[in-house]
Chain A
């Protein structure tokens, strides 16, 4: 079955360390997204990519970096510059411009905790 896989489910990081969250999809979707969710809050867009080798900053990109070298993969690196990285991170994918009637498909999330 097609889907979107995030790993790991739980991640612990020491202050000052970079950490990379994995997101892989086998849906042949063009676009991929990273969101951050804090307790009791909505989703905030970090980065998105509509095509391989291209990505754009979302609303809260500072302290994060991404790459899109393959259509299937969109890893997110949380750098030491991110002041408050403890959160639940969600990856999503969607069809491209022709898929306006289709929703996002979400991964199951990665909970990152800074210790």
Chain B
């Protein structure tokens, strides 16, 4: 079956630190992979995606590479800002329409 395992939080970093949030997946076939971000009291927003192996998704300084050999899609950012404080969800979409979400990782960036 399909599932997503995401790094436990919460994560607290100082401004300008390097961020990695780990995400691994189990899937039948070749899923598309996504990272979503949720700011307090809001819905989820698509941050980036990758649709096939070795694709790199990027947006707003965040990057993630679809690694088929390690079934991973880790989120990285070289220098975080206070405004990046949010909850980050890794997700996959399999051959059907249904998404499978990780449990979310809360990030707090302190000045």
Is B25 interfacial (CB-CB < 8 Å)?
no
Contact B44 A42 (CB under 8 A): no
With A and B bound together, what is the CA distance between A6 and B106 in angstroms?
24
Contact of A94 among B94, B97, B106 (CB under 8 A): B97
Instruction: List the B side residues contacting A101 at CB < 8 Å.
Output: 32, 49, 51
Q: B97 to A109, Cβ gap below 8 A? A: no
Q: Are B43 and A42 in contact (CB under 8 A)?
A: no
A86: Cβ under 8 A from any B Cβ: no
Asked whether, in the complex, the Cβ of B36 is within 8 Å of the Cβ of A103, the reply is yes
Give the total of A residues in contact with B, Cβ under 8 Å.
Answer: 25
* B101-A43 in contact (CB<8A): yes
* Set A48, A90, A96: member contacting B43, Cβ < 8 A: A90
A-chain residues with CB within 8 Å of residue B95 when the two chains form the complex:
100
B43:A107 contact, CB within 8 angstroms:
yes
Known: A43-B89, A109-B43. A103 touches B102 (CB 8 A): no
CB-contacts of B48-98 with A (<8 A): 49, 51, 89, 91, 93-98
CB <8 Å contact, B41 and A42: no
Tell which of A92, A103, A104 has the most Cβ of chain B within 10 Å: A103
Chain B contact residue count (CB 8 A cutoff) = 25
State in angstroms the CA–CA spacing of A111 and B49 once bound together.
28
* Interchain CB contact under 8 A, B103 and A96: no
Say whether B49 contacts A103, CB under 8 Å. Answer: yes
B98 proximity list for chain A (CB < 8 A): 45, 48
A108 in contact with B42 given A100-B95, A103-B36 (CB within 8 Å): yes
Contacts of A96 in B (CB 8 A): 97
Which B residues are CB-close (under 8 A) to A25? Answer: none
Given A42-B89, A42-B102, A42-B103; A97-B43 close (CB under 8 Å): no
**Inter-chain pairs besides A103-B34, A106-B36, 11 sampled, C-beta below 8 Å:** A6-B43, A40-B106, A41-B104, A94-B99, A101-B49, A103-B49, A103-B91, A103-B93, A106-B43, A106-B45, A107-B43
The 7 sampled A-B contact pairs (Cβ below 8 Å) are A6-B43, A33-B99, A42-B89, A42-B101, A42-B103, A100-B32, A108-B42
